[in-house]
Amino acid sequence: MFRYPSDRAPVLLVLALSIIDFLIYFMVDDVWWLAGYTLLVIMPKGVICAWNHHHQHTLTFHAKPLNRLLEFFYALHTGVTTNLWVLHHVLGHHKNFLDQTRDESGWKRSNGGTMGVLEYTFTIACTAYYRGYQVGKKHPRVQRNFLLYSVLTLVGVALLCWFRFVPALLVFVLPMIISLLFTVWVTYEHHSGLDTDEAFHASYNNINRLFNFLTGNLGYHTAHHYRQGLHWSKLPELHESIKHLIPPRLMRDARFVLSES
CB neighbour class for 145 (10 Å; exposed up to 12, middle 13-18, buried from 19): buried
Q: What is the pLDDT of residue 257?
A: 57
What is the rounded distance in angstroms from the CA atom of residue 185 to the CA atom of residue 182? Answer: 5
Q: Per DSSP, what are the bridge partners of residue 61?
A: 2
Record the pTM: 0.93
Q: What is the pLDDT of residue 241?
A: 98
Q: What is the pLDDT of residue 260?
A: 40
Query: Which DSSP helix (H) or strand (E) runs through 251?
Result: strand 251-252
Q: What is the pLDDT of residue 69?
A: 97
Q: What is the pLDDT of residue 261?
A: 35
3-state SS track over 66-80: HHHHHHHHHHHHHCC
Q: What is the pLDDT of residue 256?
A: 66
What is the rounded distance in angstroms from the CA atom of residue 109 to the CA atom of residue 209? Answer: 34
**Averages of pLDDT over each 10 residues, the chain, 261 residues:** 97 97 98 97 95 97 98 98 98 96 95 94 97 98 98 98 98 98 94 95 95 96 97 98 96 68 35
What is the rounded distance in angstroms from the CA atom of residue 160 to the CA atom of residue 27? Answer: 13
DSSP code string of 178-226? HHHHHHHHHHHHHHTT---S-GGGS--EE--HHHHHHHTSTT-HHHHHH
What is the rounded distance in angstroms from the CA atom of residue 10 to the CA atom of residue 207? Answer: 20
Q: What is the pLDDT of residue 48?
A: 97
